[in-house]
Structure 1
């Protein structure tokens, strides 16, 4: 079974920054063995499928476990995170809980709000009102924190590239081509870049579209420890990419160039860079319609 065609934006916080009860659970998960970054999508897929194979099926992962349990985490050391001179990362280990229960609940609330009645009926094993109430209850538990992972199917939201240093891309090759494409960045550097890009976008194109995504992303980053790390990972999208696609991918450079061009008032540069990005990512996004 292929890995889900999902890209991720993740935050890794110092383990020492969590409250004692959560820190104890996360420490246990680290000791049992963290999930490998390259296997995160498959792990999420496996957990979800297992909820549907129980008798009766579970609406959300972890329904039989205590609130706040953290069984799946990703781990980094501060030395794995490039950072600017004014940024501090750590102390280690840095941990990213997958937060599957909360993320699934938020996705379910969105699905119930957008899907047509026949699709909801076919997809759910319980009444839609009951599902909405249960999922909303789980989402409300997140009010004091934030999920550590944002995800996007079939494409990467272009504003996410603002956070990273284009020169710090890491490409991991495998037997069948590219296994992984990712960037890591210190939280302080990510916040600085998103703040600048939001200010430029607001001045240039207003508060809607990409500027709104930048504002929401900045608010999300502010909810985490300032010495955290941020990771942009293409995840399962690399399965759609040939080696030539990876070599031709200048998305991070293009997005940064767009911000610079907006700031200096160069609409021709903005247009040219955006057209290239639309052509590159449009090919992958179009596959969703034919899947």
Structure 2
């Protein structure tokens, strides 16, 4: 299954995600049953990723040209976390846990494809490619999808989106949430790295991003990254304090891993705070040499 996932991504833009997993009690009661059922099915992570990829490819070739998700096949990612704290662990792929295993609680990250597709379409329309996007996605289809969004909001009252996505590289601000010592899963298949996933508790992530905001506000208030970090902080504050944050590199991991970006971002901010411009510049050069070639692929023909 993992191999199929990698082959299915061939030729597609590199896509990475920042996800929040929340405990069951953080969701509206009318959603909890479906979430609990998703956790009980013990579906492997590879199966979820494959299903989401196949669904997205299916929308592109759907008769009528409507590329928007309907929400009928919305998926849920599940993460098991030890009750007594410690390292979050990926849920077992269908196998029963050994009797000596520590008690675990499940955390959930719904895909929310209807809401996310609407936000992505709005951003596209407002960007420099807006006129082209209006041709590719006619107003009638956008209006139809807005009705889906209104229906989802009316039904569930969702005020927070659990997933942020990025194509052709990972925003440097995301690396502020993690350190090189955080729990990390490296998923490999057929000699390639399919993805790398790093996790941290939301309390740790908030402490780190607030530290970065405080230091950049004093040392480099005009830096674009400061605005990104401020928005990231506000987003994280929407979620339950028992949540876990996950950075999923996606297929770009095969190009950059092992990756020292979390350390380089942290060192760059610390150097700026100490007035060490040479050290900050060196950290940025390391980041640029790693990620600018990836971003240039977006313009390659």
Query: Would you say the 8 A contact 2:196–2:248 is kept in 1?
Result: yes
Tell me if 1:99 matches 2:107. no
Equivalent residues in 2 for 1:154-165, closer than 5 Å: 154-165=168-179
User: Residue in 2 aligned with 1:27?
Assistant: 36
Q: SS at the partner of 2:176?
A: helix
Q: How do residues 223-262 of structure 1 correspond to structure 2 at under 5 angstroms? A: 223-239=238-254, 241=255, 245-247=256-258, 249-262=259-272
Matched, 1:51 2:63: no
Deviation per CA, 1:46-94: give whole Å up to 9, x if none.
222333444434452126x5xxxx84111111139638xxxxxx97201
Residue 221 of structure 1 pairs with residue 226 of structure 2: no
Moved more, 218-227 or 104-113: 104-113
1:159-217 superposed Cα distances (whole Å, 9 cap, x missing partner): 11110122224433332222221210011000111111111111111155101111111
Write 1 or 2 for the structure with the bigger share of helix.
Answer: 1
Calculate the TM-score normalised by the size of structure 1.
0.82
Q: TM-score, normalised by structure 2?
A: 0.80
- In structure 2, the CA distance between the partners of 1:118 and 1:213, relative to structure 1 (3 Å rule), is closer
Moved more, 123-132 or 278-287: 123-132
Deviation at 1:126, TM superposition (A): 5.0
Gaps of 5+ in 1: 84-89
What is the correspondence of 1:1-291 to structure 2 with a 5 Å cutoff?
A: 1-2=8-9, 4=12, 5-34=14-43, 36=45, 38=46, 41-62=49-70, 65=72, 71-79=74-82, 82=87, 92-114=105-127, 115-121=129-135, 123-124=136-137, 126-127=139-140, 130=143, 134=147, 137=150, 144-168=158-182, 169-206=184-221, 208-239=223-254, 241=255, 245-247=256-258, 249-291=259-301
In structure 1, C-alpha distance between the alignment counterparts of 2:131 and 2:105, rounded to whole Å: 47
**Is 1:108–1:132's contact at 8 Å kept on the other side of the alignment?**
no
Paired residues, number: 273
SS at match of 1:214: helix
